[in-house]
Structure 1
């Protein structure tokens, strides 16, 4: 049995005719009759009987109508509760981010939330997690988190927008990371031929640095000497600073892991840009608290982009 069928049975008990029920619910009499017939098929006792030209409820029908009224009332309460949840500015919001995005964005995001709360406003309660996965696995995280910070290379397949909504955050270049005393550090921009023969520290396959290095190899036509496969950018920066290898680091989100021993130089001649996006299930973005966090992430990212640049 369906809730709308129970509602029709209830209205029939109060109004006494199929026509009156149809007028009240703004449907056709045949639609009312059809739904009542379907409801009758779902139970073993008669729910209605004829009294002259009127259709009235049996005792069983009245019992079910009363129970149906309680169900309809409970559903109204549930809709009101979910409406309040959707509109609550301080509802919890879970956010996952790949490692460099979490390092760069989570602290300023939490600071914004604390500032809003200190000013007397209601701030979303943040639930932050780091999830660094291969590109094709980011959309699946939207089943576990309200918002997913994801990255993909600019020339890679787009996110499946039939499954997730996409809010762009930034187009972030991956720059060549060099020790400060490296001969190439004096150059303002580098080409694949300049760097392909250097010893490398890069990520594991399936992640952005490995993709860019593969493009460098393809353009130059020469293999790369990969010494280290490391996904953590702070470790990559430390190895580059120590000398003996160069790497690729994202221009904006790696800012916090750089020190004076590392410089970044733009790489031309290949597509080295990755897109940073927010992924979410469409229904999640209807919540006020979630949209507040989205706007805060956009603010934090904009400030990070404005502060960053090749070093």
Structure 2
């Protein structure tokens, strides 16, 4: 016969309260039902745990030895149940996110702050990576959610939310293009550019836009990180193209950012998860906060 936690809880209650009557009341059981639980536990263990007469209840030697072990079992199980309920309610848990660096540094801090304000017990793990790595992290289930550039139509992913992100041209404040409120590719097609490397979603968008125009970008320098690209522009190596929401746009007071009107410079941003996998409650809260944040922009 297998043990169950009802039997264990019945024994621990009787042992702690020293009375079948008080234990039955605490457990909301009738005394006969409580007696059955104790008997089944003793049968499963092939040992007498309680000596009972009309006046008192006493633990046998085996009962005394088992009591602290069974108490710890109940405490551990109660803790597991409580933690699981907290996580299911979204009050606890860890949200694992992979995101393009531009979003990890711009959108995510505000979204995480909103989630933590509502549920302080939620923790976050952020992996900032290029688009291909974001997809792989979601595919391998190393993260719950991925925030990446471009539409995602692979069968193994679900797209939970999408929005548009327009690129901007970043140039020195005294550059002739800085006076234009809105630019087109033809304005800077002959300018030397500082571009992120070909593995990034921004570079893919820029290269595709130049191909549509039948031109090839003049690449003065390639970088991995957008902040490095901004530093290169500040040094006078060329101009750069960055997402409109990138915090790097505001990092250098001597530079200005101008939106690019061409539709080719608008990218889709996708929030994805692995198809067939259920998001934890904390992940659902993060999703709702992300949708709210992107609708404000």
TM bucket normalised to smaller: 0.5 to 0.7
Matched, 1:224 2:226: no
| 1:169, distance to aligned residue in structure 2 (A) | 4.2
Give CA deviations for 1:109-134 in whole Å, capped at 9, x if unaligned: 332233224xxxx6422222222243
Deviates more, 1:216-225 or 1:268-277: 216-225
Structure 1 residues 87 and 116: alpha-carbon distance in aligned structure 2, compared to 1, 3 A threshold: closer
Normalising by structure 1, report the TM-score.
Answer: 0.61
What is aligned with 1:215? 208
For residues 208 and 130 of structure 1, the distance between their equivalents in structure 2, rounded to whole angstroms, comes to 13
For residues 264 and 249 of structure 2, the distance between their equivalents in structure 1, rounded to whole angstroms, comes to 24
Pick from 168, 172, 175: which aligns with 1:179?
A: 172
For residues 88 and 157 of structure 2, the distance between their equivalents in structure 1, rounded to whole angstroms, comes to 19
| 1:102, distance to aligned residue in structure 2 (A) | 0.6
For residues 259 and 200 of structure 2, the distance between their equivalents in structure 1, rounded to whole angstroms, comes to 19
What is aligned with 1:239? 232
Pick from 125, 136, 139: which aligns with 1:140?
A: 136
Contact 2:131/2:201 (8 A) holds in 1: no
Normalising by structure 2, report the TM-score.
Answer: 0.63
What is aligned with 2:113? 111
Moved over 6 A (4+): 80-83
Pick from 157, 163, 168: which aligns with 1:164?
A: 157
What is aligned with 1:151? 149
Structure 1 residues 159 and 124: alpha-carbon distance in aligned structure 2, compared to 1, 3 A threshold: farther
The number of residue pairs the alignment matches comes to 216
Contact 1:233/1:254 (8 A) holds in 2: no
What is aligned with 1:4? none
CA RMSD of superposed structures (Å)? 2.8
Residues 72-111 of structure 1 aligned to structure 2 (within 5 Å): 84=85, 86-111=88-113
Instruction: Look up the SS of the partner of 1:96 in the other structure.
Output: strand
Structure 1: unaligned runs, 5 residues or longer: 1-65, 67-76, 306-311
Structure 1 residues 125 and 98: alpha-carbon distance in aligned structure 2, compared to 1, 3 A threshold: same
Deviates more, 1:171-180 or 1:270-279: 270-279
What is aligned with 1:9? none
Structure 2: unaligned runs, 5 residues or longer: 1-43, 45-76
Instruction: Look up the SS of the partner of 2:264 in the other structure.
Output: coil
Contact 1:179/1:263 (8 A) holds in 2: yes
What is aligned with 2:127? 129
Instruction: Look up the SS of the partner of 1:125 in the other structure.
Output: strand
Instruction: Look up the SS of the partner of 1:138 in the other structure.
Output: helix
Instruction: Look up the SS of the partner of 1:144 in the other structure.
Output: coil
Give CA deviations for 1:131-169 in whole Å, capped at 9, x if unaligned: 2243xx5333211101111112xxxx6331x31211224
Instruction: Look up the SS of the partner of 1:271 in the other structure.
Output: helix
Contact 2:152/2:159 (8 A) holds in 1: no
